[in-house]
Structure 1
Amino acid sequence: MHEIITLQLGQRSNYLATHFWNLQESYFTYSADEESPVDHDIHFRPGIGADGTETFTPRTVIYDLKGGFGTLQKYNALYEIEAEPGLPRGLWDGNEVVQQQPAIPQTEYQRNLDLGLPLPKLTAESVRYWSDFNKVFYHPKSIVQLNEYELNSQLMPFEDWEIGEDLFRSLDREHDILDRDFRAFAEECDQLQGIQIFSGTDDAWGGFAARYVDRLRDEFGKKSIWFWGLEDGARVQHQKQALAAANTAKSVNEISPQTSAYIPILDPPRNLPAYVNPNLRSQWYSSALLSTAVESVTLPTRLRSLRGTESWLPAQERPHKIFNLQAAIVSEKDLESELSAEPDKEILAAEDEAEQDEALLKGFDIDFSWRNSAPAKKIHVFGQVRINRGYDAERNVSSNPASQPSRSQLLRSFATVQRYHTPLAFPFLDSLPHDLLAGKGSLGSGLRVRAALSTTTKIGDKVKELQKVASRLIGVDEREALVNGLGEISEAYQEHWESVSDSGDDY
């Protein structure tokens, strides 16, 4: 078994992770003669509930600010305990006055879920917190509320990178965060495969995450760390935009060199195809769209038929650690034209490296990656992992249960492209916005999704932009180290390709 432990840092990350756990829960089978294609032991842990019954809960630690958990309680129906009100005897002999904040009322969706009644349709107005559409039980140790800051506080906003860094250090001095929150989950694992982290990077969570990754890397050495760095893709005021850019620059410089993969994500993405509902101002909507890509592209790590696949991500031994995330929802019409065109053969038939690169980046109309202000130029692909789900492109079979997931490689001059095909469709759950997509076939039978992580020369151009931002906005004390660090990162995406390229093109 190769377990994965997840860390969820902050409100935006918890929206995405809640969709992720709901999707994992949907893969469970409850018949003795039916086996799920997904190995649940990768992301879920067995345990014993308060009444002695067996439980199965996510291997995750969830951090959020005070007020960020909504109606989610630390102790749930699996782990209910009788809390003793008041202070322990002997510490205080006077009268007790207990002040409690008004409880947040449950939504109709959560009430019906608890009672086993038919679930109402969720709307952007009815989803106030990420816990409002959560469908799984968590172990009490998974819930960690940080009371030092309050969600959406105007008085003490959790925005500056250094605030998050200082908060982690103060908590770590007081408690040793790894011992208190993480180690219990790690010690349960037979053979830890890696650590998956969802975190904001353009606010204070970037600083918190950077110091957390430091501790994880010191403690767990060469274990894989996959970091999903979420940035606010909405256009904001110029002052906030400058602060977010400075925070992002620090996150990239501090976190990306220590990870196996650093995936920057604009949530929501800037440009959307016509079939996506534009109501992405709601975090519930935007994180739902993002979950189609994140859950799909990580699927090979937990498919039973691909157990033991170590090289899920290409180029982990190379200096290219930053990946762009792209996706597409494939309709029946798209599928017919795709199967006749056979895009994989188009890649293999390309006459030179530049044509192969162009073919590799085709077919994706939802782009969560960074936007560059530099003029467009030819892009070189150092490595890519691509998954087609809901159909088997290699066998030209659509949603055939008898088909098995497959894996293939395209060996190129400078990188390996990993390609996965599985008939397992993306399940369109009732916890997702019912009107998120239009004109993409039957949602009841699931979605056909194409998703990819690519590391390209485009990343180097964006890091250069962050370097320029840092030189303008960062104070003198830390400017030189940050600018030099970003310069070294950006060079990894340019010098190697330019020095070995015989094409004569300026990449």
Structure 2
Amino acid sequence: MREVISISASHRTNHLLTQFYNGQEQLLQDVDAENEPGVFLNPVVDRISKTVSYTPRALLWDAKCGTGALGTRQYENTHDYYFDPDHNPSEAKQAGVEIVQTHKKIPKSEYQVALDSNGHLPVLSDSNTRYWSDYSKLVFGPSNLNTLNDWYHDVDNPSAPDFQDLHQTYFSSYDVGYQEFKTNYCADFFDDKLHSQLESCDGLQGLNLLSEMDNGWGGFSSCLLENLRDELPKTDVISWGFNKDDALSLNQPIRSTKTKFELICNKIRSTLSIVRDSNLYFPLYSDPSLSLWRSAGCTDLLFDAVNSASSNRDAKKRTSFNHIVGLLTQGETHRNVVSKLDIEELDFSFYSRIPRQKTSGTKTYGQLFISRDPQSTIEETSTIKTYAWQPSDTIPEEYRNKTTYTASLAVTEKPRDVFKNWLNLVSRYFKYDADREELKEELGTLVNTYEEGWYDDDDSGDDL
């Protein structure tokens, strides 16, 4: 078996993993499915009842209350944990146990109630899917879930948890996120949660790391990945980073507001760290016009396509993470930013939103097509064929009908535009930052890595 473990750090990325694992649950219902379920799901055999249950090979991080109505041990039969569906402390089932309610009750979604009672499933919409647990089909238990101790989920601003629910300090800084993981979670996460997942694998082939680049989660996942590299130095890691629009993508003055400047500073530090320690980095766009549920349903077309290639039951059709990395990087391991991320009319790349600085064509260093059309007759080395998508009913209807499609991925010159702009920004505005020279050196190297031919920009990166 060549298992894949997915690590998600943020409420947004938990929505994407939920949609992905709902799709894995959907495949379990198909006796003729072409995938090997054990790649992404851990089968647990009950020898008495002669049944098999599946748990996700996943580790999810969220703020307190970010899991919605889902209790960490909700689906465990234990006397050490009190769970009452009505959350009525007066009906405690253990004598001498005092129950303290520390936060307002979050009601279970209508969809989850229907799942638990085997009832009629309601239609999902933006309004009834604000938490990823509202529509999760597989059970995420204590071995999968990790929670920030001091930061509370904000439904209206899910990317920036609130410290102690005091509405004064938010999880919005790279440094805060980095120190949070390093100081409070590093040892326990690797010694307990990650090792538990690793022990269930026969032969780990790779990991997905999903996070956001503009806030504290970027620093949090950077520190996590940095330590993960010490733990698993030779394991392939594909990182997926969500990026919000910033002053560059919106063509606005860099210092138009303090918030926008801090956002792009976070993005620079997070991206450099993630790119440095990943085998591939996919810069995804966070579309503000879409809810987290709808955005995850759309992005799952890309995420599922890339991952499906590594789980084909037929060994002749199976493709490893390592092979995908090789096709895109062409052996140049330091050139690992996949800037082209297309599926037909859908463009998932944040980097395509950055203004071009070159008037001529764009160089393509490595490309890959992932075809999910069983009828496709393409026989090129840069094309991987995999099984058709079987989306869960939790995917928004407008994306659910795309069961056969081709994902187009490429490593191009485009990151040069991004890194050059960042180099100019660091040179001009990071006057007293301790890591200024380090950032300039690393960005300069990346600019040269993705540069081909003549550009229209000048040497505006010099100190002013």
TM-score by length of 2: 0.82
Tell me the residue number matched to 1:413.
Answer: none
Structure 1 regions of 5+ residues with no counterpart? Answer: 86-93, 270-279, 330-363, 396-406, 410-417, 438-442, 499-503
CA shift for structure 1 position 29:
3.7
Given residue 80 of structure 2, which amino acid in structure 1 is its aligned partner?
A
CA pair 95-120 structure 1, distance change in 2 beyond 3 A: closer
CA apart distance, 1:138:
2.2
1:321 to 314, 325, 336: 336
Q: What secondary structure, in the 3-state scheme, does the structure 2 residue paired with 1:158 have?
A: coil
**C-alpha separation in 1, matches of 2:205 and 2:272:** 25
Deviations 1:356-398 (A, max 9, x none): xxxxxxxx54242312223453111101121121343316xxx
* TM-fit CA distance, 1:50: 13
- Residues 422-437 of structure 1: matches in 2 within 5 Å? 422=386, 424-434=387-397, 436-437=398-399
CA RMSD, 1 decimal: 2.8
Counterpart residue number, 1:169: 182
Gap change, CA 1:155 and 1:461, over 3 Å in 2: same
Aligned counterpart, 2:294:
285
CA shift digits 1:37-94 (9 cap, x unpaired): 11111111123679986421111111001121111222243x3322256xxxxxxxx9
State the match for 1:182 in structure 2.
Answer: 194
The letter for the 2-side match of 1:170 is T
My pick for the range that moved more, 231-240 or 455-464, is 231-240
SS of the aligned residue for 2:172 comes to coil
* Counterpart residue number, 1:481: 438
How many aligned positions are there?
417
Q: For 1:488-499, what aligned pairs fall within 5 Å after superposition?
A: 488-494=445-451, 497-498=452-453
1:21 positional shift: 0.9
Q: Match of 1:105, as an amino acid?
A: P
The corresponding residue for 1:209 is 221
Aligned to 1:83: 80
The equivalences for 1:228-267 within 5 A come to 228-233=240-245, 238-267=257-286
Q: Deviations over 1:261-300 (max 9, x none)?
A: 011111228xxxxxxxxxx331111221111122123321
Identity %: 25
- Would the alpha carbon gap of residues 56 and 477 (structure 1) be closer, same or farther in structure 2, given more than 3 Å must change? same
Q: Secondary structure at the match of 1:304?
A: coil
Which of 347, 355, 372 matches 1:373?
Answer: 355
Shift of 1:473: 4.1
Alpha-carbon spacing, 1:80–1:469, altered in 2? closer, same or farther (3 Å): farther
> What SS class does the counterpart of residue 60 from structure 2 fall into?
strand
Q: Residue in 1 aligned with 2:412? A: 456
| 2:376 aligned with 1:393 | yes
Q: Quick one: distance in 1 between partners of 2:190 and 2:105?
A: 31
- Corresponding residue for residue 169 of structure 2: 156
DSSP-derived class of the 2:22 partner: helix
Q: Give, in angstroms, the shift of residue 169 of structure 1.
A: 1.0
Q: Secondary structure at the match of 2:183?
A: helix
Letter matched to residue 200 of structure 1: E
Distance 1:131 1:25 in 2: 15
Q: Identify the range of structure 1 (256-265 vs 299-308) with the bigger mean alpha-carbon deviation.
A: 299-308
1:61 paired to 2:55: no
Q: Which runs of 5+ in 2 are unaligned?
A: 83-95, 155-161, 458-464
Structure 1 position 46 matched with structure 2 position 43: yes
Work out whether residues 239 and 278 of structure 2, in 8 Å CA contact, stay in contact via their aligned partners in 1: yes
Give the match for residue 148 of structure 2: 146
- Compared CA separation, residues 421 and 162, structure 1 to 2 (3 A): same
1:216-231 superposed matches below 5 A? 216-231=228-243
Match of 1:440? none
Q: How does 1:292-331 map to 2 (within 5 A)?
A: 292-305=301-314, 306-307=317-318, 309=320, 310-313=322-325, 314=327, 315=329, 317-318=331-332, 319-329=334-344
Deviation readout 1:392-426 (Å, 9 max, x if unpaired)? 3316xxxxxxxxxxx631xxxxxxxx21234x332
Once the 2 structures are TM-superposed, how far is the Cα of residue 506 of structure 1 from its aligned partner? 9.0
Residues of 1 paired with 2:80 and 2:340: CA distance? 45
Alignment check: 8 A CA contact 1:58 1:139 kept: no
Residue identity opposite 2:69 in structure 1: T
Matches of 2:245 and 2:15 in 1, distance apart?
15
